């Protein structure tokens, strides 16, 4: 890896002479940990009274007595019987979904014991293309994290006939990105699963580019798992998937040789169901990985990161050491980097977490990354350099004009009366929606929506300066019980401007509020506006994560005051333009429905 000199992660081959000399005692260690209760994820044991010797960024010695490694310049840390674990790895995460930059994300998660991750930056890639991905990689390299980036596979997530994004990535771009370094680790989640199964040239070409570069490919498959299609998907070379929502989903993937990633984001609560593949069905855990996928900034503060997911898995009945394996060695082996990360082993990077109290509580009190103590007792102990984004990355909202209430009028096929229409029904703590048919009143040829019923309009407006497309639809179960609107440029995955509300005037006001700050989130009611600016690609803020967490919390409170009381409601609403998740979504081109054959545009009104 090629992190900056402050947090250098040199190749193992370059470190061999020094590591061997340190293990002999001829060269004194830079850091020694003594009196540790070592969590050996390679053997599944907890070993008392262990010591760990570190030379620079890597581990040189693991054993009972490291006294021969200690010199006058060696830093010695007495673990005093505390648990010592490999640093936690997130096996599937979108940094942008936390609405903070990679630097601030590192500050937020290192204190929680996360020392690395496999980050799919397909959010910024959909806005800025390969240059955006490269910016994320370059910034991640300046942090202490063992940050491995994935090449976005679905830009756009399906095809230009269904949605408009800010860039296009195909096989040639995938191949180019893999030349940037070994920390470009994999092909990101291949969401166009019908395209893979039915032989779409672009999707197959991207997978081939990854395999030819010696990389693995990650998946995103939401069809049922009990027919031939999952085998076809796996036969393509896709070997890991974070979309299981049931124990059966996990079992079938593992039986086909895939890694099943069990997700507990802020609003996606899948672990309780999926972990039963291990706890109730007895499936071997070595191809099971715990991941976050998406976590809001306030949930990072309030609940945690991967540490939270591990605690949750333990509460579901998983043995603590097994749960820790699911965020360390299993994850490292999945991506082929177990020689560098994922265990406390001689030669590996010294990414180490110390925990106090009951192991099941996963109470992190110290984090060591690349041989340096970077966090203690919930506080960072090192300063991270500021990363400056270029002008093109912070001016990405390109609307042709200010929006007006008239832009949100839905023209009906009748002059007056009632008409039946499709509506997306959102589900709390789930990524999917349900298609329902609703009757809506019509007057003067226009659909009329108000706060007297739980139904909102939704608009998606192209914001990349390409075509100015706009589409309108309906969404149920948002919960607004007063005139209200929310607008955002965080609208997975093309990240166009999405607006939801029951008042055309407030929808226009919210949309313009977001455009005026070059992206972000705005909630507007008759009482006023609450705005979270996210100027980096319209997705992230480079402000301290603590500030962004409070601003995000204020968005959540504003939604609650308007009647939207879902758990981490924004996280759920932000997915309503993501066409690759069932069942009904809206893009700038129109309503898209997931079917047995793939994805298809459907009309708003039904006869």
Same domain, 263 and 120: yes
Q: What pLDDT is stored for residue 429 in this prediction?
A: 87
Q: Which SS3 state, helix, strand or coil, does residue 569 take?
A: helix
Residues 313 and 402 in one domain: no
> In this structure, are 430 and 532 located in the same domain?
yes
Domain assignment present for 52: no
Beta-sheet strands, E only, within 26-183: 31-40, 45-55, 58-63, 75-78, 83-86, 88-93, 114-120, 146-151
pLDDT for the residue numbered 268: 86
CB 474 within 8 A of CB 480: no
> Domain boundary at 274, 302, 320, which?
320
Q: Is residue 178 part of a domain?
A: yes
Domain's final residue, options 320, 335, 366: 320
Q: Is 44 helix (H, G, I), strand (E, B) or coil?
A: coil
Domain limits for position 468 = 393-602
The reply to whether 306 and 414 lie within a common domain is: no
Q: At 23, which helix (H) or strand (E)?
A: helix 12-24
Report how far residue 153's alpha carbon sits from residue 122's, in angstroms, rounded to the nearest whole number: 8
**β pairing state of 146-151 and 114-120:** parallel
pLDDT of residue 1: 58
**Residues 402 and 270 grouped into a single domain:** no
Cα–Cα distances in Å, from 519 out to 88, 227, 512? 32, 42, 10
Is the separation of the CB atoms in 174 and 208 below 8 Å? no
Q: State the pLDDT at residue 597.
A: 82
Q: Please check whether residues 303 and 404 belong to one and the same domain.
A: no
Q: Is residue 337 part of a domain?
A: no
- Given this model, what pLDDT does residue 602 score? 96
Q: How many Cα atoms occupy the beta-carbon half-sphere of 375 within 13 Å? A: 29
Cα–Cα separations (whole angstroms), residue 545 to 68, 152, 304, 591: 42, 25, 13, 35
Instruction: Report the pLDDT value the prediction gives residue 323, as an integer from 0 to 100.
Output: 98
Q: Is 1 helix (H, G, I), strand (E, B) or coil?
A: coil
Kindly state whether residues 311 and 399 are assigned to the same domain: no
Q: What is the DSSP string of 362-419?
A: -EEEEEEETTEEEEETTEE-SPPPP-PPPHHHH-----SS---GGGG--B-SSSSEEE
pLDDT score of 230: 97
Instruction: Name the stretches of the chain with pLDDT < 50.
Output: none
Domain assignment present for residue 220? The answer is yes
Classify residue 201: in a domain, yes or no.
yes
Q: Any residues with CB less than 8 A from the CB of 395 and at least 6 apart, and which? A: 518
Give the length of the chain. 607
Is 411 found in the same domain as 297?
Answer: no
CATH of the domain at 102: 3.20.20.140
The total number of structural domains in the chain stands at 2
Please state, in angstroms and rounded to a whole number, the distance separating the CA atoms of residues 124 and 539: 7
117 and 249 belong to one structural domain: yes
- Which among 525, 534, 409 has a CA at the least distance from the CA of 463? 534
Residues 6+ apart with CB under 8 A from 432: 222, 581, 582, 583
Query: Nearest CA to 62 among 83, 34, 87, 91?
Result: 34
**C-alpha 135: how far from its chain's center?**
17
Is the same domain home to 422 and 511?
yes
Contact at 8 Å (CB) between 85 and 44? Answer: no
SS3 (DSSP) at 514: helix
- Domain annotation covers residue 533: yes
Contacts of 343 (CB under 8 A, 6+ apart): 40, 41, 42, 86, 328, 329, 332
Residue 473: the pLDDT is 98
Task: State the Cα torsion 265-539-153-390 to the nearest 10°.
Answer: -140
For 535, half-sphere exposure in the C-beta direction (CA atoms, 13 angstrom radius) is 11
β-partners of residue 501 are: 457, 485
Residue 28 domain-assigned?
no
Compute the distance between CA of residue 340 and CA of residue 139 in angstroms, rounded to an integer: 21
Look at residue 363 and tell me if it is in a domain: no
Q: Which pLDDT value is given to residue 430? A: 86
């Amino acid at each position: 890896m090629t992190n900056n000199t402050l947090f250098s992660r040199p190749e193992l081959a370059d470190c061999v002479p020094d590591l061997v000399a340190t293990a002999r005692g001829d060269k004194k260690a830079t850091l020694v940990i003594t009196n540790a209760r070592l969590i050996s994820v390679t053997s599944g044991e907890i070993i008392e009274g262990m010591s760990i010797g570190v030379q620079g960024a890597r581990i040189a010695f693991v054993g009972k007595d490291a006294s021969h490694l200690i010199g006058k310049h060696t830093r010695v840390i007495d673990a005093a019987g505390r648990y010592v674990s490999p640093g936690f790895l997130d096996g599937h995460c979108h940094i942008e979904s936390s609405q903070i930059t990679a630097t601030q994300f590192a500050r937020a998660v290192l204190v929680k014991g996360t020392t690395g991750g496999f980050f799919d930056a397909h959010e910024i890639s959909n806005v800025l293309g390969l240059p955006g991905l490269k910016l994320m990689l370059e910034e991640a390299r300046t942090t202490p994290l063992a940050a491995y980036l994935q090449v976005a596979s679905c830009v756009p997530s399906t095809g230009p006939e269904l949605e408009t994004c800010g860039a296009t990535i195909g096989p040639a771009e995938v191949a180019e990105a893999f030349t940037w370094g070994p920390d470009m680790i994999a092909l990101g989640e291949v969401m166009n699963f019908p395209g893979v199964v039915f032989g779409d040239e672009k999707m197959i070409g991207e997978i081939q580019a990854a395999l030819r570069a010696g990389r693995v490919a990650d998946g995103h498959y939401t069809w049922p798992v009990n027919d031939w299609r999952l085998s076809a998907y796996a036969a393509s070379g896709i070997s890991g998937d974070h979309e299981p929502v049931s124990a059966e989903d996990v079992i079938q993937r593992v039986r086909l040789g895939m890694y099943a990633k069990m997700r507990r984001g802020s609003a996606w609560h899948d672990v309780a169901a999926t972990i039963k593949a291990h706890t109730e069905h007895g499936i071997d855990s070595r191809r099971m990985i715990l991941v976050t996928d998406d976590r809001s900034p306030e949930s990072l503060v309030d609940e945690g990161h991967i540490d939270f997911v591990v605690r949750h898995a333990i509460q579901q009945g998983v043995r603590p050491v097994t749960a820790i394996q699911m965020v360390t060695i299993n994850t490292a082996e999945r991506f082929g980097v177990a020689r560098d990360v994922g265990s406390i082993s001689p030669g590996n990077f010294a990414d180490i977490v110390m925990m106090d109290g009951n192991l099941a509580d996963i109470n992190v009190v110290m984090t060591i990354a690349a041989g340096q103590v970077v966090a203690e007792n919930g506080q960072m102990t090192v300063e991270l350099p500021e990363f400056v984004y270029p002008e093109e990355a912070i001016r990405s909202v390109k609307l042709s004009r200010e929006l007006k209430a008239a832009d949100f009028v839905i023209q009906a096929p009748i002059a007056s009366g009632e008409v039946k229409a499709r509506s997306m029904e959102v589900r709390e703590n789930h990524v999917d929606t349900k298609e329902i048919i609703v009757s809506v009143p019509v007057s003067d040829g226009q659909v009329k929506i108000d706060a007297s019923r739980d139904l909102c309009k939704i608009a998606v407006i192209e914001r990349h300066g390409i075509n100015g497309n706009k589409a309108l639809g309906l969404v149920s179960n948002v919960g607004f019980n007063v005139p209200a609107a929310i607008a955002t440029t965080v609208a997975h995955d093309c990240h166009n401007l999405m607006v939801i509300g029951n008042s055309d005037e407030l929808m226009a006001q919210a949309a313009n509020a977001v455009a005026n700050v070059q992206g972000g989130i705005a909630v507007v009611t008759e009482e006023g506006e609450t705005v979270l600016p996210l100027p980096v690609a319209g997705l992230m803020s480079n402000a301290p994560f603590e500030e962004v967490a409070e601003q995000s919390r204020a968005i959540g409170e504003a939604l609650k005051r308007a009647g939207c009381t879902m758990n981490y409601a924004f996280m759920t609403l932000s997915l309503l333009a993501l066409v690759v998740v069932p069942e009904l979504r809206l893009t700038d081109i129109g309503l898209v429905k997931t079917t047995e054959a793939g994805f298809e545009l459907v009309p708003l009104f039904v006869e």
